[in-house]
Amino acid sequence: MKKAISLLAASIVLSTAVSANAQQSNEQLFGGNFSGSIKIASDYVFRGESEVVDGEIPAVQGSFTWTHQDGAYVGLFSSTNKFASTPDIYAVVGPYIGKAGQLTDSGINYNIMVFHYMYPGADNLDYTELWIKASKQFGKVNLELEVTPTLNEWFGIDGWYGVNYAIHPSTTFDNGISLSGSVGYQELSGNGAQGWTHWNLGVSKDFHGLNIDVRYHDTNVDASHKVYGSADGQKIFNQRLVFSVSKSF
């Protein structure tokens, strides 16, 4: 536990320090720039699932990214994390690498990323996903499509693989308030596996350099679900309202 928390704290501190220094100097490193963010939230919800056992521990997150001028990037994400079935886990650390850009003059933006989920204290759960996103602006509305398959066994479970399909619409009003949401389906294949539908809707606004976000999350997981139909399983997939404050550098 102490090792996991120390690793999380170190990565967040490093994110803040490196990003702040890069912002102050405004200098490029190897043709790219650093950016980062820190966030504190009432819960950490990922595809409809609470990653901190229904808010039992605070959700504290940090990330930093180096982005090349051609759109290639590499970075590290860290967050508090807790699973009731695996008490040794208190953090998730995710190194990632990707490429973002625009398809000629079509107005279609793409973002392709390989993200590796690492759980200190339970390495057998580690797995990797390939995030594929495409977005386009339609007037004031941005529409993003996502297809994210696993590249190896989901959470290390023998024969289980997943693909997340999602659509993410968003818009920003003249007063600076942003409205955004997501509707997706986490497909799971394998013996005894079953996917679920997840959705969220929220509003956010910047105040004095901080972003405030209020978001509603829900899923279709109920008592009949093969994987999460137990009382404990439904608990982490129940509807919830999440408040967060974040700062980008």
Contact 100, 94 (CB under 8 A): no
| Structure-block tokens of residue 161 | 């693989």
Question: Mind listing the pLDDT tens digit for each residue in 72-101?
Answer: 999 999 999 998 888 778 899 999 999 999
Is-contact 181 167, C-beta < 8 A? no
Give the pLDDT confidence score for residue 21 in this predicted structure.
53
Domain count along the chain: 1
CATH code of the domain containing 168: 2.40.160.40
pLDDT over 80 (residue 17): no
The pairing of beta strand 108-117 with beta strand 127-138 = antiparallel
Q: How confident is the model at residue 24 (pLDDT cuts 50, 70, 90)?
A: very low
Q: Are 134 and 143 in contact (CB under 8 A)?
A: no
Q: Which helix (H) or strand (E) holds 18?
A: helix 2-25
Residue 3 is inside which H or E element, if any?
Answer: helix 2-25
Mean pLDDT, residues 204-232: 97
**CA-based Rg of the chain, rounded to a whole angstrom?**
18
Report pLDDT for 1: 47
Q: In this predicted structure, what is the pLDDT of residue 77?
A: 98
User: For the segment 126-183, what is each residue's pLDDT rounded down to a tens digit?
Assistant: 999 999 999 999 999 999 999 999 999 999 999 999 999 999 999 999 999 999 999 9
pLDDT band at 7 (very low <50, low <70, confident <90, very high): very low
Residue 231 has pLDDT above 60, yes or no: yes
Residue 22 has a pLDDT of 47
pLDDT at 12: 53
* Domain interval for residue 161: 2-248
Question: What is the average pLDDT score of the chain?
Answer: 91
Give the model's pLDDT for residue 25.
45
* Whether the Cβ atoms of residue 243 and residue 61 lie closer than 8 Å to each other: no
User: By the 8 A CB rule, do 134 and 108 touch?
Assistant: yes
Q: What is the pLDDT of residues 35-49, one digit of tens each?
A: 999 999 999 999 999
d(CA 207, CA 236): 31
Q: Are 199 and 48 in contact (CB under 8 A)?
A: yes
Question: CA distances (Å), 151 to each of 15, 144, 196, 199, in order?
Answer: 27, 22, 19, 24
Residue 47 CA: distances (Å) to CA of 10, 115, 167, 218, 234: 26, 15, 12, 9, 14
